[in-house]
Amino acid sequence: MCDFLDLDLETRFAKGDWLSKVEIEALVSWLRKTKEGLDEVKKVQKSHNVIAIKTPKKLEQARYGVTIEKKVAKAPTIYQRMSDAANHITWLANALHPSE
């Protein structure tokens, strides 16, 4: 997941630079995706000549629009992924920057 977000946890934790709230939310967003959703992103990343173009929304649509992700894993899977990621990140942070 950190590859998708360009997070170098080892370097950051060694310097004592922890994850921000926004980065944690982005990580959780990636952990919620299904395998098919992640495979689609990997496929797009492999083709270097593809550029994602988003059409700007009108102010009213942006204000009242709700985005619902369609390819979300089931709740037990999300819980297990988030638990495993939290345990790994905690272990890595403690290993690279032990508290005194």
Nearest alpha carbon to residue 41 among 28, 50, 68, 8: 50
pLDDT for res 53: 57
Instruction: Give the residue ranges of DSSP H helices in the chain.
Output: 2-5, 9-15, 21-31, 35-46, 59-64, 75-96
Indicate if the pLDDT at residue 83 is higher than 90.
yes
- Specify the number of domains making up the chain: 1
Q: CB count, 10 Å around CB of 92?
A: 15
Task: Provide the residue range defining the domain that includes 57.
Answer: 2-96
Q: What is the pLDDT of residues 23-81, one digit of tens each?
A: 888 888 888 888 888 777 777 766 666 555 555 555 555 555 555 566 788 999 999 99
pLDDT for res 14: 86
CA distance 87 to 79: 12
pTM of structure:
0.66
pLDDT for res 29: 86
pLDDT for res 41: 74
Q: CB count, 10 Å around CB of 33?
A: 20
